[in-house]
């Protein structure tokens, strides 16, 4: 989440968007509080009162739950695919809404390459920015990148995927070497084409093409397999 402009309102909104996404899950475990981000509690509490509710729609942890949750993970697992530009925009009279609770709107930069997925634009430096945010916010935890990738067309020459992983992994390397982020693992999404939620089998995220019409569900390596195999074998870029 990056500010749309350098105005204080947009800068605060971008940070708020991070708290409402990554912070929603990570803050109770890694911040030392055992609780949701304070900005979530304040904004959702205010919206709830405006909507005539007697208490916040955001559940409250008991003190016992806070103690149990705090520090209860060995590493922070992060899924990252894309970036968004964030503008501050108040929604004082909105109904329950994850985006409207935050008083902001998001968009993609027009210079970021589009993909067939409406939500996924290509912006490699965004993963480094997100990792540095987590590093600073949670006192440099051990981070495993659990998912990172993009879909391509139906062919085997998936140059877009190769370029995506080349540049995104390079930004992860910058985060480690230049920023000191404690990234210990990286996992590409995904080994083979599979069911992608509500879009079914239409988006191909795999290194291996799967023929879903064959009884054996035949797997065929795409061009990205050779690239990724070489990257792992060399433990670096050739």
Q: In this predicted model, what pLDDT tens digit does every residue of 95-126 receive, in sequence order?
A: 999 989 999 999 999 999 999 999 999 999 99
Residue 62's φ and ψ, nearest 5 degrees, are -75, 165
Residue 237 has a pLDDT of 81
CA dihedral 71, 168, 186, 12 (to 10 degrees): 10
Contact 104, 17 (CB under 8 A): yes
Residue 78's φ and ψ, nearest 5 degrees, are -125, 130
Average pLDDT, the chain: 96
Q: How confident is the model at residue 189 (pLDDT cuts 50, 70, 90)?
A: very high
Which domains, and CATH codes, for the chain? Answer: 2-234 (3.20.20.80)
Residue 51 has a pLDDT of 96
Q: How confident is the model at residue 43 (pLDDT cuts 50, 70, 90)?
A: very high
Pairwise CA distance, residues 228 & 155, whole Å: 17
Q: Which residue has the tokens 């992994």?
A: 169
The answer to whether residue 238 scores a pLDDT higher than 80 is no
pTM over the 0.85 mark: yes
């Amino acid at each position: 989440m990056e500010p749309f402009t350098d105005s204080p309102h947009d800068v605060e909104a971008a940070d708020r968007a991070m708290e409402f996404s990554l912070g929603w899950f990570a803050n109770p475990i890694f911040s030392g509080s055992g609780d949701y981000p304070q900005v979530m509690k304040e904004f959702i509490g205010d919206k709830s009162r405006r909507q005539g509710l007697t208490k916040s729609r955001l559940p409250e942890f008991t003190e016992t739950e806070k103690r149990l949750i705090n520090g209860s993970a060995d590493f922070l697992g992060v899924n990252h695919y894309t970036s968004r530009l964030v503008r501050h925009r108040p929604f004082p009279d909105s109904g329950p809404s994850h985006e409207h609770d935050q008083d902001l709107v998001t968009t993609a930069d027009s210079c970021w390459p589009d993909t067939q997925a409406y939500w996924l634009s290509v912006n490699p430096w965004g993963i480094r920015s997100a990792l540095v945010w987590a590093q600073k916010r949670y006192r440099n935890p051990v981070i495993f990148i659990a998912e990172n990738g993009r879909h391509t067309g139906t062919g085997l020459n998936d140059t877009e995927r190769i370029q995506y992983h080349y540049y995104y992994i390079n930004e992860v390397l910058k985060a480690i070497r230049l920023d000191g982020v404690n990234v210990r693992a990286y996992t590409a999404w995904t080994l083979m084409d599979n069911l992608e939620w509500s879009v079914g089998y239409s988006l191909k995220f795999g290194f291996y093409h799967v023929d879903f019409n064959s009884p054996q569900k035949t797997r065929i390596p795409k061009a990205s397999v050779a690239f990724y195999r070489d990257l792992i074998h060399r433990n670096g870029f050739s």
